[in-house]
Amino acid sequence: MHLSPERVERGKLQSWGVPGLVVGRWRSRDRQALLARGLGHVTLIVLGTLFAIPLAWMIGTSLKSDQQIFTWPPVWIPSPVVWANYPRAISYIPFWLYLKNTLYIVLLMVTGTLLSCSLAAYGFSRIRWPGRDVVFVVLLATLMIPGPVTLIPTFILFKTLGWYGTFKPLVIPPFFGSAFGVFLLRQFFMTIPQELSDAARIDGCSEWGIFWRVITPLSKPALATLGLFAFMGAWRDFLGPLIYLQDERQYTLALGLRHFLTQHGAEWAMLMAASLLVSLPMIVLFFLTQRTFIQGITLTGIKG
């Protein structure tokens, strides 16, 4: 391989990565960049391992026999591999019932959020009406209100309405919008050219028609992002079900898992299997939708 110093531009030089390969002029800046990259690599491998260990340990433990769990020093690879911990975990709690409850709640929450937020976002972005911007500031301000402030009166309200012990307190509020969702969709709706609405209007399309047939089809990426967030939020929700659900047969997976913990504190293999099962949909969903997901996070700054 012939590398004359003239032909090696800075970018190329960096991409070789191995210092020994590079002949010719060796500017100190390049050496610095390489050094930084080398150090970066090592640091990332170390930190990455540290971050991965708990997850690896979780998977490992979920496949161990009871004896191996309490072995000292700890073993990493279970032997024998006890797959039975999974069926055991599933049959120890009414897993399928909890899954059904969770899916029911999650689907209604996602539907409600998407419907109400897209309507409101349309009203805040595609129609110009007096007072709109002031009301929008009010909406943004509500993002700052800590949850506990509204928690207690809302609980009392739902209890008075007779909703305590039903799914209603969990699934009905999403149909009345969330400030975060409205904000996210509004940002997107604003980027759609106004001419599209005007053209539809000239063709005799009603406002609802424009919303339903022009704007929402064009906003699939934004709707998907919000839907994803709503799904994750609903799946992970713990406090809501904890406060409002009374009967064990109504429990969600997250709530059931906690219940499981107090009953089977010592059976760590089964607990790890159950925890993994509850986490699995989030992990799969994240891998399938990484791009959408990370864009959503950075766009809104909302943490998972």
What part of residues 84-143 is at the interface with other proteins (CB under 8 A)?
A: 115-117, 119-120, 122-124, 127-132, 135, 138-139, 142
Q: Nearer to other proteins by C-beta: 2 or 282? A: 282
Cβ proximity to other proteins: between 2 and 128 the closer is 128
The correct pick among 180, 188, 231, 235 for binding other proteins (CB under 8 A) is 235
Q: Does 157 bind other proteins (CB under 8 A)?
A: yes
CB of 96 to other proteins, least distance (A): 18
| Residue 209 in contact with other proteins, rule: CB under 8 A | no
The single residue among 80, 153, 162, 193 that binds other proteins, judged by CB under 8 A, is 153
Is residue 276 within the footprint of other proteins (CB under 8 A)? yes
Is residue 188 a contact residue for other proteins (CB under 8 A)? Answer: no
Nearer to other proteins, 77 or 144 (CB): 144
23-52 residues near other proteins, rule: CB under 8 A: 32, 36-37, 40-41, 43-44, 47-48, 51-52
Rounded to a whole number of angstroms, the minimum distance from the CB of residue 10 to other proteins is 12
**Among the listed residues 56, 188, 70, the one whose alpha carbon sits nearest the alpha carbon of residue 118:** 188
- Exposure string of 69-98, with b = 16+ CB inside 10 Å and e = fewer, is beeeeeeeebeeebeebbebbbebbebeeb
Tokens of 202: 């000239």
What is the smallest separation between the CB atom of 12 and other proteins, expressed in angstroms?
A: 13
Q: Taking the complex as a whole, how short is the minimal distance between the CB of residue 82 and other proteins, in angstroms?
A: 16
Determine the Cα–Cα distance for residues 257 and 232; give it in Å rounded to an integer: 17
Q: Is 20 in the site for other proteins (CB under 8 A)?
A: no
Asked if 282 interacts with other proteins (CB under 8 A), we say yes
Instruction: State phi, psi for 98 to the nearest 5 degrees.
Output: -65, -40
If one asks whether residue 161 binds other proteins (CB under 8 A), the answer comes out as no
Binding of residue 154 to other proteins (CB under 8 A): yes
**Which among 78-86, 190-198, 217-225, 238-246 is the span making contact with other proteins, rule CB under 8 A?**
238-246
Q: Which of 140, 220, 238, 246 is the binder for other proteins (CB under 8 A)? A: 238
Smallest distance from the beta carbon of 79 to other proteins, in angstroms? Answer: 18
The answer to whether the beta carbons of residues 230 and 110 sit under 8 Å apart is: yes
Is residue 182 near other proteins by the rule CB under 8 A?
Answer: yes
Q: How far is the CB of 296 from other proteins (least distance, A)?
A: 10
Q: Least separation, in Å, of the C-beta of 151 and other proteins? A: 7
